[in-house]
Amino acid sequence: MKSTKNKKIEINVKDIAGDFFTHMAEQGLAATPAQIRKISEKISSTMGYEPKVGVFGKTGVGKSSLCNALFGRKIAKVSNVAACTRKPQEVLLNLSSQGGGLTLLDVPGVGESRERDVEYSELYENLIPELDILLWVIKADDRAYSVEEMFYNDIVLPIIKKSQIPVIFVLNQVDKIAPIRDWDIENYRPGAKQQKNIDAKILTIKDKFRIPLVKICPIAADEGYGLTSLVEKIVRYLPAEKKYGIVREARTQNVSKKALNEAEKGVWDTVKSAAEKIFIKAIPYIASAAWAFISKRWIF
Ligand SMILES: Nc1nc2c(ncn2[C@@H]2O[C@H](COP(=O)(O)OP(=O)(O)OP(=O)(O)O)[C@@H](O)[C@H]2O)c(=O)[nH]1
Ligand SMILES: [Mg+2]
């Protein structure tokens, strides 16, 4: 695997808040101290948001490896199925105290036994609605996905639909897709023949799990392959106010310019909505000046 340095994106709330208010002052629009405080608080809370990411999948698919590679963070395992008798908030609260700015949940897998699957389904029902995003990890070189397919379609899908939780399918260990010798060991990426088979596998996954292609992300956690695209997808499917937390917590090497831009835009969109509520009541023309500033800054 490539460098395992664990650098993080630096937050500079003061700069962002400063830019905003300087621009307003330049327009001759002074916000009141109370308005400044409210907007600054919104910027801080959006940039400091602690995302809750659930990592689901069978034993050995690479959940722990994925979290380590993406965030440089050991995952907090919810291996105790008795957890399902507790309130999900309790589970999440306990876990977040271990994690800092990110709550990662390694949820027990499926297909160990019928009884276990019933217990898992209860746990999933409690946990999934508490998450910001769900990563469903499957192993690229598995021949069949019948157990996962049944469990996902019958148990997980109704819950994520009801709670509107975004899900991304992570096809891990693509370096093991035939022909294995085709793997480009210098550049940590698939060779041309391997890529063809990966593409075919992605189409199979799309049909079996009935998910759009854009929500499938081929990676090799141990090789550091595909992680940048995965962060881009996570950022894309999170709501605006939750995007930034992910780029802040991911290793810098996994955060592309595109992901960072989209996450920053998420902060501004959130601030924009907050400003709308705060300023519109006070002085409507301040609000329109704020929009002008924000949209000028964030045109892509
Ligand atoms: N070749 C290859 N091996 C991988 C990759 N990702 C993970 N592995 C290996 O697969 C094995 C299982 O990975 P884990 O991360 O422990 O899997 P897990 O899903 O956390 O497993 P449980 O905790 O038992 O549920 C380990 O030996 C990893 O090194 C990958 O991208 N390529
Ligand atoms: Mg694990």
- pLDDT per residue, tens digit, the chain (300 aa), is 444 444 555 545 556 667 767 766 776 666 777 877 888 888 888 888 989 999 988 888 999 899 999 998 776 666 555 455 555 656 665 554 445 578 787 777 777 777 777 777 888 888 899 899 999 999 999 988 888 898 899 989 999 999 999 999 999 999 999 999 999 999 999 999 999 999 999 999 999 999 999 999 999 999 999 999 999 999 999 999 999 999 999 999 999 999 999 998 898 888 878 877 776 555 555 556 666 666 565 543
Considering every ligand atom shown, identify the ligand nearest to the alpha carbon of residue 62 and give its number: 1
pLDDT score at 214: 97
**What is the Å distance from ligand 1's center to 284 Cα?**
55
Of 112, 115, 44, nearest to 84 (Cα)? 115
Q: Which is the closest atom of ligand 1 to the Cα of 223?
A: 31
The token pair that represents 199 in the structure block: 């593409």
Pick the residue whose CA is nearest to atom 9 on ligand 1: 62
Q: Is 109 in the pocket of ligand 1 (CB under 6 A)?
A: yes
Q: Which is the closest atom of ligand 1 to the Cα of 176?
A: 1
pLDDT score at 262: 94
**What is the Å distance from ligand 1's center to 59 Cα?**
8
Q: Which is the closest atom of ligand 1 to the Cα of 220?
A: 31
pLDDT score at 127: 86
Pick the residue whose CA is nearest to atom 32 on ligand 1: 173
Ramachandran assignment for 110, one of left (phi > 0), alpha (psi -120 to 50 degrees), beta (any other): beta
Alpha helices in the chain (DSSP H): 13-26, 33-47, 63-71, 88-99, 114-127, 146-151, 157-163, 192-209, 227-237, 240-249, 257-282, 284-297
Q: Is 249 in the pocket of ligand 1 (CB under 6 A)?
A: no
The Cα 46–Cα 50 span in angstroms is 9
Considering every ligand atom shown, identify the ligand nearest to the alpha carbon of residue 65 and give its number: 1
Pick the residue whose CA is nearest to atom 23 on ligand 1: 59
Q: How many CA atoms lie within 13 A of 165 on its CB side?
A: 26
pLDDT score at 186: 95
Residue intervals in the chain for CATH 3.40.50.300? 52-237
pLDDT score at 12: 53
Of 51, 39, 50, 52, nearest to 13 (Cα)? 39
The token pair that represents 117 in the structure block: 């699957």
Residue 110's Cβ-count burial label (10 Å; 0-12, 13-18, 19+) is buried
pLDDT score at 292: 64
pLDDT score at 260: 93
pLDDT score at 92: 61
Partners of 189 in the β-ladder: 184
**What is the Å distance from ligand 1's center to 82 Cα?**
25
Partners of 104 in the β-ladder: 53
Q: Do the Cβ atoms of 63 and 33 come closer than 8 Å?
A: no
Name the residue of 139, 142, 222 to mutate for ligand 1: max ligand atoms within 8 A of Cβ: 222
Name the residue of 2, 65, 176, 227 to mutate for ligand 1: max ligand atoms within 8 A of Cβ: 65
Q: Is 68 in the pocket of ligand 1 (CB under 6 A)?
A: no
Q: Which is the closest atom of ligand 1 to the Cα of 137?
A: 19
CB atoms within 10 A of CB 61: 24
**What is the Å distance from ligand 2's center to 41 Cα?**
37
Instruction: Select from 3.40.50.1970, 3.40.50.300, 3.30.930.10, 3.30.1360.70 the CATH code of 52-237.
Output: 3.40.50.300
The Cα 32–Cα 111 span in angstroms is 59
* Residue reference for tokens 């994925």: 66
